[in-house]
Amino acid sequence: MSNPQVTVVGRVPGTHTFSSLVCTLSVGLPALSVLVIVIGLSIPTVGRRIDRLAEWWNLRRVYEGLEPLWKAFYNAMPQIALTSPQGVEGQVPRRDMRLRLYRRVVEVRDGALILNPYRRDADTAAHRDRGVALGLDGEALVAAIEAADLAVALGRYTSGAGRGGGITPASPSHDDLQGEATWLESVSRAFAERRIAPVEDRTAAER
């Protein structure tokens, strides 16, 4: 008994879809073109996301750099907190790092304003001499002097020893949040490291 022959319609024996360059290009190029278009459309979106993530991490770094100075101020002057019972209520989402940094900068500045009456020009002069002797110069010197001045003023404030006379500190002028925050971060790091040893507070002995 002979087996019936099966004929495949539309198929040339020994060939397949990609048997020729023409077939390969006709099938592959449209798919490749779609892939290129999709990748091209997604690159700007990915780039923007990377930029936003990089900005977020930079803001967070500065925010954490302000922690030593902010914490010292808050422990002595809890009223500076914008979320305190005496301040503005409400929580800031963790993802909104720009607003969180803005609040921290305002709180640190408020603390420094409270301490202004407890500062003395003589402290600043002594701290400048010590900083120069340590080889500091430029903005690093200014930040270290400011940190040491704030440390002495904070000591006077917390001990109730009395006011120091009051001065208006000279600090770099910044018109933007990033510049102001970066400056305060450098002061905060100098404050944490006690880069310049604060002068002894003699206010109590003079009373």
Q: Tell me the pLDDT band of 203, cut-offs 50, 70 and 90.
A: very low
Q: Tell me the pLDDT band of 178, cut-offs 50, 70 and 90.
A: confident
d(CA 70, CA 77): 10
pTM across the whole model:
0.68
Q: Which amino acid is at 167?
A: I
Q: Over range 111-126, report the average pLDDT.
A: 92
Report residue 112: phi and psi, to 5°: -65, -35
Q: Tell me the pLDDT band of 38, cut-offs 50, 70 and 90.
A: low
- Say which residue, 36 or 203, is predicted with more confidence: 36
* Residue in this structure with the two tokens 């500190």, named with its chain if needed: 169
As to burial, measured by CB atoms within 10 angstroms (0-12 exposed, 13-18 middle, 19+ buried), residue 131 is buried
Q: Hey, what are 102's tokens? A: 């803005």
CA 170 to chain centre: 24
**Which pLDDT belongs to residue 23?**
59
Contacts of 134 (CB under 8 A, 6+ apart): 195, 196
Q: What is the dihedral of CA 192, 194, 195, 201, to 10 degrees?
A: 140
**Which pLDDT belongs to residue 87?**
47
Is the model's pLDDT at 46 over the cut of 90? no
Q: Are 128 and 137 in contact (CB under 8 A)?
A: no
Q: Tell me the pLDDT band of 20, cut-offs 50, 70 and 90.
A: low
